[in-house]
Amino acid sequence: MRKRGALRPDTTLAPAGEVEGEIYVQALPACCLRSFKESALAEPGERRRLGFGCACGRSWRITSSLDDRVLDRFVTHAGPRAGGSYPAA
């Protein structure tokens, strides 16, 4: 069973193909935040996901997170602040 508590607020995301647009998870539009939570808290599949899409048409990539549930579910894409390290700082 997956832990269902709140996700850490220090997770950062960027629109797919636009690393410079990095934002914190709490700045996501409401519909995208709902899609992110559904994806992050879903039962893990065979492979980690590269990102997630929303019904509004936006696609997002995770650039940094310290939340184990997010790291278990998604491949992180180092953002501009990260210098390519894992996990991104």
Query: In the chain, what are the domain boundaries?
Result: 12-73
pTM, full prediction:
0.76
Rg (CA), the chain: 12
Query: Where is pLDDT greater, at 8 or 89?
Result: 8
CA–CA gap between residue 82 and residue 46 (Å, rounded): 27
Where is 10: in which H helix or E strand? none
CA–CA gap between residue 89 and residue 26 (Å, rounded): 18
Task: Encode pLDDT of 40-71 as tens digits.
Answer: 888 766 688 889 999 999 999 999 999 998 98
